[in-house]
A and B are shown apart, each in its own frame.
Chain A
Amino acid sequence: MTKSRATPSQFHGGAAIEVIDVSKTFQRRGEHLAVLDRISLEAAAGEFISIIGPSGCGKSTLFNILAGLESADGGKVEVNGAVATGASEHFAYKPQKDLLFPWRRVLDNATLGLEVQGMKKKDARQLVEPLIEKFGLTGFEHCYPYELSGGMRQRVALLRTVVQGRQIVLLDEPFGALDYLTRTDLQLWLSSMWEQFHWTVVLVTHDVPEALLLSDRVYVLGNRPASVCCVLDVDLPRPRGLECIGTPRFAELEEVLLTNLRDPERANRSSSIGSAHLIGDGRVDG
């Protein structure tokens, strides 16, 4: 049966990723603008990590480097132990905007990545169709994006991202443009999807509860040039639902993150010391 090919099982799991001492400096009219200063982070296969930091701290630049859209000046990226700097084929990238193509129907938007990779439309559809229901898009397969609500559009964009069959999913502030209720819904939904599929996810956000709700580990970036100033293991039990947000532990972790984010003194002091050292030093355990 051809259907056997199209089971969502192949979208399960992911690869381990390690970012080692990645630096980036932009040159603008002869001026050097250091954006990333020896960023190091890691995610084991099937882990969900978040990068959180103040606006404009260079989170997006880091993502562009991972997605192969920009090159790093120093450091390297390893996927499953092999150097993968500048190679985009390991990463499925979900930009901030949903960027659905208005001329493609929901199903065709979801298959975009597969088609770009050269897969035939028919095969791509067969691969994506079983996931439509899980993504809450049943009945909307043949709608155009303008017919969808903001939350649905983001789900289509996420579907488009994960079906690419890449080993690591990069989410760049995926729910930033949504209203509070829709955002919370989608966060809980994404959490449950991750429980099922165990993708390796790197999430960039500046929404502290979002990072806590979804991640196994949170990396806090300091001000520009950004370096990792704090690593927080999120030991909240899974599966995490809405009730998790009300627990004292959640509040504690939230306070730790907020303090680290809001204390520029500490962040500055931290970034002046070596980042490798800092990860050990700045790690907050319980």
Chain B
Amino acid sequence: MSLSRALTDEIEGERARPDAVTASGAGVPRSRTSRAARAVGTRLSGAWPALLGLAVLVGLWQLVVVLLKVNPTVLPSPARVASQGWMNRSALWQNTLPTIKETLIGIVAALGVSAVLSAAIDLSKPARRVVYPLLVASQSIPVLVIAPLFVIWFGFGLLPKVLVVILVTFFPTTVALLEGFNSTEPEASNLIRSMGGGRFKEFWMLRVPTALPFFFAGLRVAVSFAVMAAIFGEWVGASVGLGVYMELEKNALRTDLVFAAVVVTAALSMVLYGLTFLIQNATMPWYRHSRQIKRIK
């Protein structure tokens, strides 16, 4: 499952991070902007293989459709998807906006939920005993069942979709935060205590920053589910949105436009995923560099 894998990857990296770096790493750091620019450059150049792979795949697809004269209702060619998508861009865009809105509101709300839950669980033992099992149980509710109920309870508006997004995304971030809090070094906790700090100072000054890398790993998992969750929420019952659009075009046998909507969905997910890196680098400038040094070593 992608959740556990992504978490393990990040966490392993965190554990392996060296405590000390030898004098070679010492020196007054260069300006921040040049570093940021280099980082973006590295990331883009790293994307070339993926883009190349995608291009090959799309090319093959085009070739097969043209050579075998496949009926566009069954499988439209990429060129047709692109041209029809472009011709219907205003309809696509009008249905994309609500989906973006639901996704973003849902993610932000889910972050609030997981911040409160994880803090409560970390700071109080009773909360851990009572809330944690409920959290896990909440994840065994099939979204398939609960999403239509949300529509019955809250109608066709924004709320039921946001709820679906929250339900799907709050769990990875909560678990990641809890793991992060727990990865705090006991010696560091003792240090804060020896300085006269109580439970809350320790939490805020030590446990929260320690948990940040874990949090971003969880956030990436959450974000990659979020757009899909919003679309599912729309699909169950809505008047507008990519989910509705796909359903309508499917019924109209416009497979090409369904594909166009899928492309938009994938692009949305990737943009959100990329955003998590931008936010991570902005909030934890120390983290990326220390990991780069580790890689060099």
Contact = CB atoms under 8 A, between A and B. Distances in A.
B195 A149 contact: no
Which range holds the interface residue count of chain A?
35 or more
B74 interface: no
A149 B170 CA distance: 40
Given A95-B187, A116-B201, A140 B289 contact: no
A199 to B, nearest CB: 16
Q: Is the interface of B mostly helix, strand, loop or mixed?
A: helix
B193 A69 contact: yes
Interface in A22-73: 64, 67-69
B7 to A, nearest CB: 20
Per DSSP, are chain A's interface residues mostly helix, strand or loop, or mixed? Answer: loop
A146 B286 contact: yes
A92 B191 CA distance: 9
B290 to A, nearest CB: 4
Contacts of A164: 195
A140 B25 CA distance: 12
Given A67-B194, A69-B193, A143-B28, A149 B23 contact: yes
A152 interface: yes
A103 B284 CA distance: 7
Interface string B172-204: 000000000000010110111111110001000
B195 A147 contact: no
B28 A117 contact: no
B26 A147 contact: yes
A160 to B, nearest CB: 9
B195 A148 contact: no
A88 B21 contact: no
A112 B205 contact: yes
A233 interface: no
Given A91-B194, A143-B28, A146-B290, A101 B188 contact: yes
Contact of B19 (A64, A68, A97, A117): A97
A113 B195 contact: yes
Given A88-B196, A116-B192, A148 B187 contact: no
A165 to B, nearest CB: 11
A102 interface: yes
A149 B188 contact: no
A123 B191 CA distance: 21
B195 A116 contact: yes
A129 B191 CA distance: 22
B187 A146 contact: no
A149 B24 CA distance: 8
B287 interface: yes
B53 interface: no
Contacts of B133: none
A150 interface: yes
Given A97-B19, A102-B17, A140-B28, 14 more contacts: A69-B193, A88-B193, A89-B196, A97-B187, A98-B19, A99-B185, A101-B206, A103-B209, A112-B195, A146-B21, A147-B21, A147-B289, A153-B20, A164-B195
Interface of A: 64, 67-69, 88-89, 91-93, 95-99, 101-103, 112-113, 115-117, 139-140, 142-150, 152-153, 164, 177
Interface of B: 17, 19-23, 25-29, 185, 187-188, 190-197, 201, 205-206, 209, 212, 284-287, 289-290, 293
